[in-house]
């Protein structure tokens, strides 16, 4: 059996970050969102999102009853730094790799549903395979934010330099 750990939405300006833990052979899933609040100016500097991502993975391991000898593949994204440390400390052997296949597809689908629940109409696929795709997704979401920045600010990763600059010039209530 193989456990795959992946993330979705790291590069999106809207919403938190989805974390999926999937047992590839059975399709068992644990999925949750690192809250967007962990990406505001104060918490982003403190990297609170790293603990949140690790906690989601830990809950997934409890739910899926992952034994120490199960093969584990974890995405190389920096959001998994504390997760990798936790896995090592718990005695799990794992491989850092690019996650493809079911974990990536299911995670992306779940993240798009999350964006819909936030009010984003027709969220673009969050594949980020090429620079052009990444830019198109990013600016689609930023165009949506620009429609009413005051109302949507709380849905954004406001600790990012780009969004600090974006909201700095916006009228605050």
Q: Across the chain, what does the average pLDDT equal? A: 91
Q: Where are the beta strands (DSSP E) in the chain?
A: 2-8, 17-23, 28-34, 71-75, 94-97
Q: Is 172 exposed, middle or buried (0-12, 13-18, 19+ CB in 10 A)?
A: exposed
Of all residues in the chain, what percent carry a pLDDT higher than 70? 92
* pLDDT band at 171; cut points 50, 70, 90: low
pTM value is 0.91
- CA–CA separation, 2 vs 11, rounded Å? 26
DSSP 2-22: EEEEEEE-TT-SBS-EEEEEE
pLDDT tops 50 at residue 25: yes
What are the backbone angles phi and psi of residue 73, rounded to the nearest 5°? Answer: -120, 130
pLDDT tops 60 at residue 173: no
Residues written for the chain: 173
Structural domains of the chain sorted by starting position, each given as residue range(s) with its CATH number in brackets? 2-168 (3.30.420)
CA-angle at 79, arms to 16 and 58, nearest 5°: 90
* pLDDT band at 130; cut points 50, 70, 90: low
């Amino acid at each position: 059996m193989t456990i795959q750990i992946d993330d979705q939405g790291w590069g999106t300006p809207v919403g938190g970050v989805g974390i999926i833990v999937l047992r590839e052979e059975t399709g068992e899933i644990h999925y949750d969102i690192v809250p967007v609040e962990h990406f505001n100016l104060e918490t982003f500097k403190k990297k609170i999102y790293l603990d949140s991502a690790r906690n989601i993975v830990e809950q997934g391991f409890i739910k899926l009853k992952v034994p120490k000898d199960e093969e584990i593949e974890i995405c190389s994204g920096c959001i998994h730094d504390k997760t990798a440390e936790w896995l090592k400390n718990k005695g799990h052997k794992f491989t850092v790799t690019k996650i493809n296949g079911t974990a990536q597809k299911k995670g992306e689908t779940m993240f798009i549903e999350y964006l819909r629940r936030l009010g984003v109409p027709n969220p673009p696929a969050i594949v980020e395979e090429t620079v052009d795709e990444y830019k198109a997704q990013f600016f689609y979401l930023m165009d949506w934010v620009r429609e009413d920045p005051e109302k949507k600010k709380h849905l954004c990763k406001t600790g990012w330099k780009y969004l600090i600059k974006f909201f700095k010039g916006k009228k605050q209530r």
